[in-house]
Structure formats: C-alpha cells, structure tokens
Amino acid sequence: MISKENIIKRFISYVTIDTESDPASNTTPSTKKQWNLANKLAEELKAIGMHDVTIDDNAYIMATLPSNVDHDVPTIGFISHFDTSPDFTGANVNPQIIENYDGQDIVLNASENIILSPDYFDDLLLYVGQTLITTDGTTLLGADDKAGICEIISAMEYLINHPEIKHGKIRVGFTPDEEIGRGAHKFNVEKFDADWAYTMDGSQIGELEYENFNAASAVVKVKGKIVHPGYAKGKMINSMYIAQEFINSLPRLETPEHTHGYQGFFHLHNIKGDVEETVLEYIIRDHDKGHFEARKEVMQKLTNELNSQYSREIITTEIKDQYYNMKEKIEPVMHIVDIVEKAMIQLGIEPLIKAIRGGTDGSQLSYMGLPCPNIFAGGHNFHGRYEYVPVESMIKATEVICKIAELTASEK
C-alpha cells in the first residue's frame, strides 16, 4: 500500500517552496528560487536509492531505477516539472488539509470571504469522503506539477522497497520552466535514453492524453499617425480604430470562451495601444493541422485586406509556430497508450482519454524523439487560488506508475 501520510508529507514539503517561473527572464531556470526545490529533489532521489542522479547547469534533474529482471525490457521514463505558473503567486503557500470532505462549501479564507464551492466547481463532488489539500485562498497550490513529482518519487521509492514487483529500467526527469513554455527546450533526450516516457501532468483522476493543440503566437502591429486633434481631418490615422476593425473581423465565436472539445480558436490575450501604434497579441490553437494552417492564413489574409483598404502597409502580422499535436508521433506507437489504459483498468480507474486543450512538454518531447503521452496527476483548478488536489488521486497516480512499470516488464 502507498502510504497516505507519506504522500501528504512529501507533497506539502514541495508546495511550500516557491518555484514560480518568469517569462521575462532569459535564464534557465528563469528564477533562481527554482534551484531551492531542484537541489532538494536531487538529494531526495539519492536518499531513496535512485542511481545516476544528475542535475545539470540548467536545473534539469535525471535519475535511474535499474531493471530487476534478467530479460530485455524497454526503458521507460516519467517526467514532471517543478516550476509553478506566474499567473498567480506561489509565494508563502499555506496548504489546508480537509479530511473526509462532506460535499459542502470549503472556506479557504474567512477574512477575505474566499470560498471553494461545489456550486461553481462541481468536480468537488467527485471526491466526497476523500482528503483534499487546498490553498488558503491567497496563493496557488502548486499541484501543477508538484503532485506529479510527488507521485513519481513515491512510486520509485515503493518499487525500491518492493523488489518483488518486476520492472525494467526506469528513468525519471524533472524540469524547470514548463509553465512558461520552456520545459523541454533544454531537455537532453539522448542523455535521458528512454524508449518512451510519460508526463505526470494531467488533472482529474483517469485522464490519459495523447493529443494536444497545434499552437502559434501572432503579434499584430497597427501603425497610425498622430496630429493635433483640432487639425486632424484627413490627416490623423487612429491605430486603435483599425485594430478594432481587425479584432471584429475575426470569427467572434471562435474564441476560448465559446469553444470546447476539438474546436480551435483565436485568442486575443493582450492589447497595448495609442493613436500612433496598437499592438495585438494573439494565440492560435487547433487540434487539426489543416485547420491550424487555415487559421494562420485567415489572419494573414485579413492583414493584407486592411492594408489594401488603406492603400498602405498599415498592419504587419508576425506569426510563429510554438508546438504541434503530439498525436502524429504517438499513433505509430499506440502500445504506449494501451499500457496505461490497461494499468488504470486493473487498478479500478476509469480511463478518460481526451485531447488536451493546451500544450504539454510531452508534445515537444515527442517531436524531439521521445514519445510522451500525459497521465493525470490529480489536481484541479490549476494556476489560481481555488486549486486543490485529492490525496486519494495522488495515491492512485502513484499506483498507476508502478503498474505501468510492471506491465512493461511482463508484456511483449
């Protein structure tokens, strides 16, 4: 049995260390404070008996659990990230433990009237009778993805202490800066040397994902002309009005708040403007590669049309691809998904196989030559004050890791 007490203790020891990443930084890791947890994790891996524990100059951690079988078994890996999102503060995290959750509102912070309610977050009702770890309402929790790290280390410790469970060689990797899109950028796939791997970075118990968005960023710059407004007739060009034309010309219902499932979108996430220049920052997302390319063409065509309308290059649009749908790299090796599904079923977990409406390090790693589906870590409401994780989900995720290792060693 995986120790509930040890899971809670380990998890809390991680989330109380601030590891918020910083997109404005050019270093790796992007914040020095990430080293505090990185060094702790490296020492902990050594303490539980892992082999070949390394931490490089960019804080990427790798370690090995040697095989305990005498026949050839594929080398598998498990990967999580230790940074937390800059969307909400991760400093001074004060976790609260809710035993035997009763299905009612949870008061996170009485003085500020911050309530975690199943009336709004109905997933809470899935966990009645379980133990929840929540925030105190003033920070995020950090289950994304310190829950995944907790599960991986706990699984390795369990396998070390239970040699009767047969497994092949297992590699583990922990990365910085995933939350700012750089988690895989300096990941040494050759050094990791696994046949395939799994990120433990999903949400609800049972989630198993091998599809994600194709993603691009778009920066639209609109140039205007500023003159004195009293003498502006026929001379002033207000970039903000033209930017508004651009915004209104894109499909209004193809935005995040109006789409779900496999539906893609254009997302305007930042505007900065005055009369002389307005800058629009978009992200473009779609699971289907053809639709993804079409969305980029729509933005470029709109740019050209407005430039033609104003008889000058008044708009420039720069589009950069960010990552691609890992489905293309996973489908040829679907047995790595089938193993997880079988592991979950044997553990009494209903597999929830769905497409990620976002990205994952597994996408970039898959295109770097390491096929890497994503498995649940158990947390909910990531990146904000309402984040929580059921302890029982973390225990089940730990069991899934052990079962995957066992099945990989026993099946051809």
Known binding-site residue numbers: 81, 144, 179, 201, 383
Q: Is 288 among the residues known to form the active site?
A: no
Start-to-end CA span in the chain (Å):
27
The three-class DSSP label of residue 152 is helix
* No. of helices (H) and no. of strands (E), the chain: 10, 17
Shortest CA distance to 99 belongs to which of 307, 409, 336, 390? 390
Q: Please give the Cα distance from 30 to 331 (Å, whole number).
A: 34
Given the residues 20, 44, 83, 207, the one annotated as active site: 83
User: Going along 136-292, which residue ranges are E strands?
Assistant: 170-175, 196-202, 207-209, 214-223, 265-273, 277-286
Q: Is 87 among the residues known to form the active site?
A: no
The three-class DSSP label of residue 345 is helix
List all residues 6 or more positions away from 87 whose beta carbon is below 8 Å from its beta carbon.
140, 179, 383, 384
List all residues 6 or more positions away from 101 whose beta carbon is below 8 Å from its beta carbon.
124, 127, 128, 129, 130, 131, 132
Task: Supply the DSSP symbol for 360.
Answer: -
How buried is 97 (Cβ within 10 angstroms: 0-12 exposed, 13-18 middle, 19+ buried)? exposed
The three-class DSSP label of residue 54 is strand
Q: Please give the Cα distance from 98 to 69 (Å, whole number).
A: 41
Q: Which amino acid is at 29?
A: P
Contact (Cβ atoms closer than 8 angstroms) between residue 374 and residue 209 = yes
Given the residues 20, 178, 211, 399, the one annotated as active site: 178
> Can you say which residues are annotated as belonging to the binding site for Zn(2+)?
81, 144, 179, 201, 383
Tokens describing residue 58: 């960019």
Q: Which residues are known to be catalytic?
A: 83, 178
